[in-house]
Structure formats: structure tokens, C-alpha cells
Structure 1
Amino acid sequence: MMTDLPEFYFRVRENGAAVFRIDTENRQRRIDMEQIAVLNIRNGDVRPQGARVLNDHERAAIDAWMEERRALLARRDVDDILRAVDHMNITTQWVQSKATDKQLEEITDSLLLAMHDLRSTLVRKKADRLSKVQTSRD
């Protein structure tokens, strides 16, 4: 059963991970975890632990994990936005069918400003994309 463990463990941190090498080949058959590096997912920085020098195999495993992690975080970003769209629809239904005047007075200005800001940004970004497409056609 101990052979089913991965060779490396990545303890996720806010901007990356601490990387550990897993060792079960010891006399007590315990799981030992030796920290080998700390990485920053945003800038790709990988700092070996202490005076350690990462070998090619370790670096390849770290690079693969970082690529998979970035893809996962990108998927989560899109999922969060799609949930926000659902929440906006639920909010619209609430405003239309359940909200009291007092509740509407409490939320209207901040919601309108946030929606205006979002709409302005989306329109500007769409115009930029259309401009790039038009420029590439010319």
C-alpha cells in the first residue's frame, strides 16, 4: 500500500506550494516528507530548500505540477464568473419578486455602481478585441 503514494507532495499555499519528497523506504516504514523547494505559481519562481540543488527529475515534476495548477486555477476563475452570472440572475428574480423597499434602498446604489463598472469594463475589452480583429484583417 505504501508504494501507491506519489513521489512528491505539493502543499498548496496562497501563491504557490511547498514541495516535499515522500519517502517510505525506511526501517520504520513511516511516511517521511522532506521539503525540497518552495514555488511561486504567479511568477514561476522555484526556490530549493536550504543548500539543495534540484535534479532534472524533481524540476520536471515541479514544472508539470505548476502547469496543471495554472490550468486548474484558470478553470476555477471561469467557473467563478459563471457562478456570478447565475447569482446575478437569482438577484434579479429576488428584486422582482421578493425584495422590500427597505432592502432595495439598502442595495440599489452599490449594485448599480458595480454593474456600471462591470459593463464599462466589458464594453471596453470587447471594443479592444474587435479592434485587434479588424486590424489583423487589414
Structure 2
Amino acid sequence: MSTDLPEYYFRVRENGALVYRVDTENRQRRIDMDQIAVVNIRNGEIKPHGDRILSDKDLDVIREWMTERQELLAYRDIDDILRAVDHMNLTAQWAQSRATEEQLEEVTDALLLAMHDLRSVLVRKKADRLMKDSKIKAG
């Protein structure tokens, strides 16, 4: 383990994180983590923990973490979707070459409904984008 610990620690949770200040400068040479804030990245809210007043440095570090976290989550979303495309291709290959009739019977309806739902959403969103683009060009 590195001897140089970060000054802040973010315990990730569903909508953001709990923010701790890390302290190793004590007599026992222990690692103390003092919660200073709760962060919600969905609405951008930063709530100081208890009666604590956050310094400008605290707020700067937290905002920087929030920006980096939002970028990471956006990247992961796209990566997950691209993996889903790969899985769809693998599923098509499996259905064509290896699936038994019983296996196909088990999954066909669920796959068809999910693909129909996805196709409907994608077509509607594509149409919305095309309409928006044509209004911009015409306007």
C-alpha cells in the first residue's frame, strides 16, 4: 500500500458519494476518515455532513470529482450499449448455429418483445432528431 494517501476519499453510492477527509497525521499513525459531505451527482447537490462548513478547497475537490464521475458514468453507459450490440450479434449467431428448438422456444418471445421495444424507441428518437435537424436547416 502506498504511503501517500489522497486527502479525500469518495465512497460511491447509487446517486453520488459520501465524501471523507483522510487524516494520517495523528499520534497513532492510523488512518482516520472524517465524513464531510454527501454528494448527489444527479441533481448536483453537495450537502455538508452535520454542522460542518465546507472550505472552498473542499468544494473544488468535490465538484471536480463530480465532473469526472459524470464523465466516467457516461463512458460506461456507451460501453455497456456497445457490449449489448456484441451480445446481440453473438445471440444471433447462437440462434442460427447452436440453439436447440427447446432453447429457442424458451427465449424467442422475450427477445422479440425486447427487440421490438428497442426498435420502436430508436426509430422514434431518430425521427425526432431528423425533424429537429430539418427545422434548424429550414429556420
Return the TM-score normalized by structure 1: 0.96
1:137 aligns with 137
**1:94 maps onto 2:94 in alignment:** yes
Q: Provide, for residues 52-76 of structure 1, a one-character-per-residue CA deviation record: whole Å limited to 9, x for no partner.
A: 0111110010000000000000000
Amino acid at match of 1:83: R
Q: Map residues 110-121 of structure 1 onto 2, 5 A cutoff.
A: 110-121=110-121
Deviation (angstroms), 1:130: 0.8
Read off the aligned partner of 2:65 and give its amino acid letter: W
CA distance in 1, matches of 2:6, 2:116: 48
Match for 1:22: what amino acid? Answer: V
- Unpaired runs of 5+ in structure 2? none
Q: TM-score, normalised by structure 2?
A: 0.95
Equivalent in the alignment of 1:33: 33
| 2:63 aligned partner, one-letter code | D
Name the counterpart of 2:103. 103
Deviation at 1:27, TM superposition (A): 1.3
Separation of aligned partners in 2, 1:105 and 1:29: 63
Per-residue CA distance 1:13-46 (angstroms, 9 max, x = gap):
1111000001111112211111001111111111
What corresponds to 2:42 in structure 1? 42
Quote the RMSD (CA, aligned, Å). 0.9
How far apart are the structure 1 equivalents of 2:25 and 2:97? 64
Q: Amino acid of the residue matched to residue 33 of structure 1?
A: M
CA distance in 1, matches of 2:106, 2:23: 57
Alpha-carbon distance in structure 2 between the residues aligned to 1:16 and 1:27:
32
Runs of 4+ in 1 over 3 A off after TM superposition: none
Percent identity between matched residues is: 69
